Amino acid sequence: MRSDNVKKGLERAPHRALLHGSGVPKSSMNRPFIGVCSSFTDLIPGHSGMRDLERFIEKGIHTGGGYAFLFSVPGICDGIAMGHKGMHYSLPSRDAIADIIECVVEAHQLDGVVFLTNCDKITPGMLMAAARLNIPSIFVTAGPMLSGHWRGQRRSFVRDTFEAMAKYKKGEIDDFEMSNLEQCACPSAGSCQGLYTANTMACLTETMGMSLPGCGTALAIMSKKKHIAFDSGVQICELVRNNIRPRDIMNEKAFRNAVIVDLALGGSTNTTLHLPAIAHEAGVKLNLELFDELSKKVPHISNLRPGGEFFMEDLDYAGGIPAVLKRLEMLVEDNLTVSGKTVKEIAKSAIVFNEDVIRPIDNPYHKEGGIAVLKGNIAPDGCVVKQSAVDPEMLEFTGKAKVFDSEEEAMDAIMGGKIQNGDVVVIRYEGSKGGPGMREMLAPTAAIAGLGLNKVALITDGRFSGGTRGPCIGHISPEAAEGGVIALIQEGDEIYINIRERKIELLVSDTELEERKKKWVKPEPKIKTGYLYKYALNVSSAAEGAIFKKLQ
């Protein structure tokens, strides 16, 4: 066992003394040492209920024959960090989390790890660490929160807070209504109720085979989730005994399956950043083109919020990811999972309990998958849109640019009534380098939706929350800070978007763009100190997953 490096032999007497000091009895020294990497924090509703799950994982580990050690990593709530300086830190925290886990696991030579996670950047950060370390690992995602209820309707975080702000601004709702929506939108611990980034990544973690069947959709605070946590603790010991490692599971087939399920569900566009970054750590090449290649073949079979009306609880009650795999059995590839069963075995034994929540592939909501990759002179390296959440009338659109060099400028203009139908809102210098950190643009996109501006598009070199809906195109690459064409757009320029044909074009001549390029001056970094400065110096483009480049 790896842990023998800290507990076996005469020269390890001091190490054993310290382990005894932490509470390890002599009788447990020969057990596998299993880390429980918990992202518990009171700051995030998706993580505030993890103390119970830690206990059940620990019980499972001891039942399975291991000895559990809890350690922690930080977490950021994108919803709370959004709209101010805090959002600069969200995406960069993904890589910091992976580094912290590497430090702890290698320093203490743990034999295996149970990763307890839930929200947006924590799950991919942990998956990156698992792939990098390549020691036996299993994931427990803490689960979605319950739907809220107000005036006889189910309520959810994005629709009933972010979008409600714009309705309040228009005078459609009053203080009483707004206050009650705030109190009802997030009624329990858990990740936000739609297929936003946290829940998308939970579903894809299960799809890749890194969590037990049913884990991705099992609701927070429910006993089913506690049972899965316990069983995961038992199973990690089995993975250690059989030396089954993440790279045995997270191979090319696993990532391809993850993209297929992502497209079939209509998941967050943030997966086009996270899956390539995780694949990079696993030694698997995954490029943006695969998303678009498969999107033309994989139908969209489940219409969850933000684009649809179903909630994560509906997906769970309909059979969860096993039922989705059953629908997609002819498209996904067989592969090993941490459960010991293969993907096809899980799919064959699944039951679809609701034909509308998880439709057959010959009766989809949309013939193509949820994500489309567009290219053109604005984005020669690509950009992404959640096409399943776009009104059919806006799949092709030409509008006049309203240009902003930050999210705050754009938000002021939107809430100030300066954006009209027929506009294309351009938000730039918010990319991985220029932001730095690719801030999410949920506030502007939700405000546009809440104000009823249904003939407005938004493009950015930043990114979007999984809760965004409408013709919102992110990850424009190259970004403005690197001198990409988005930096050269001027007020009033016409922009042509054709999602069906995967095109995005600035309707300005090449000669004019060359003249503008000569006059462009690279801006000073927005932040010149601390972690964000180091991040901006070394991070790659969104088209590559916003990963840290190898230092030369």
514 and 455 share one domain: yes
Q: Dig out the tokens for 103 from the structure.
A: 């430090």
301 and 312 share one domain: yes
pLDDT tens for each residue of 55-110? 999 999 999 999 999 999 999 999 999 888 999 999 999 999 999 999 999 999 99
Residue at 457 is within a domain: yes
Q: Which residue, 334, 349, 364, sits at the end of a domain?
A: 349
pLDDT tens for each residue of 15-69? 999 999 999 999 999 999 999 999 999 999 999 999 999 999 999 999 999 999 9
Q: What angle do CA 365, 369, 370 make, to 5 degrees?
A: 85
The mean pLDDT value for 393-397 works out to 96
**Beta-ladder partners of 117:** 141
The label of the residue with tokens 């795999």 reads 325
Distance of CA 237 to the CA centre of its chain: 28
| pTM for the full predicted model | 0.95
Give the CATH number of the domain where residue 308 resides.
Answer: 3.40.50.2300
Residue at 124 is within a domain: yes
Report whether 95 belongs to an annotated binding site: no
Residue at 1 is within a domain: no
Q: What is the pLDDT of residue 450?
A: 87
* pLDDT band, very low/low/confident/very high, at 551 (cuts 50, 70, 90): very low
Q: What is the pLDDT of residue 41?
A: 97
* pLDDT band, very low/low/confident/very high, at 175 (cuts 50, 70, 90): very high
Residue at 12 is within a domain: no
How many CA atoms within 13 Å lie on the side-chain side of 487? Answer: 22
192 and 174 share one domain: no
Give the CATH number of the domain where residue 385 resides.
Answer: 3.50.30.80
Report whether 121 belongs to an annotated binding site: yes
CA distance 96 to 307: 31
272 and 162 share one domain: no
Domain extent, residue 265, equals 31-146+188-349
Residue at 14 is within a domain: no
Written as one letter, the residue type at 190 is G
Q: What is the pLDDT of residue 170?
A: 86
388 and 499 share one domain: yes
Let me know: does 354 contact 317? Beta carbons within 8 Å.
Answer: yes
> Strand, coil or helix: what is 221?
coil
* pLDDT band, very low/low/confident/very high, at 324 (cuts 50, 70, 90): very high
Report whether 440 belongs to an annotated binding site: yes
Residue at 24 is within a domain: no
Q: Which residue, 349, 364, 396, sits at the end of a domain?
A: 349
Q: What is the pLDDT of residue 550?
A: 52
* pLDDT band, very low/low/confident/very high, at 267 (cuts 50, 70, 90): very high
The mean pLDDT value for 402-420 works out to 95
166 and 239 share one domain: no
Residue at 4 is within a domain: no
The label of the residue with tokens 């998303």 reads 291
Instruction: Determine what percent of the chain is predicted with pLDDT higher than 70.
Output: 99
Q: What is the dihedral of CA 533, 537, 540, 541, to 10 degrees?
A: 70
Q: What is the pLDDT of residue 153?
A: 95
Number of domains into which the chain is organized? 3
333 and 383 share one domain: no
381 and 512 share one domain: yes
85 and 177 share one domain: no
Q: Which residue, 185, 204, 233, sits at the end of a domain?
A: 185
Report whether 8 belongs to an annotated binding site: no
Residues that are catalytic:
465
Residue at 301 is within a domain: yes
126 and 239 share one domain: yes
449 and 335 share one domain: no
CA distance 412 to 465: 19
403 and 334 share one domain: no
What does the mean pLDDT of the chain come to?
95
CA distance 99 to 111: 18
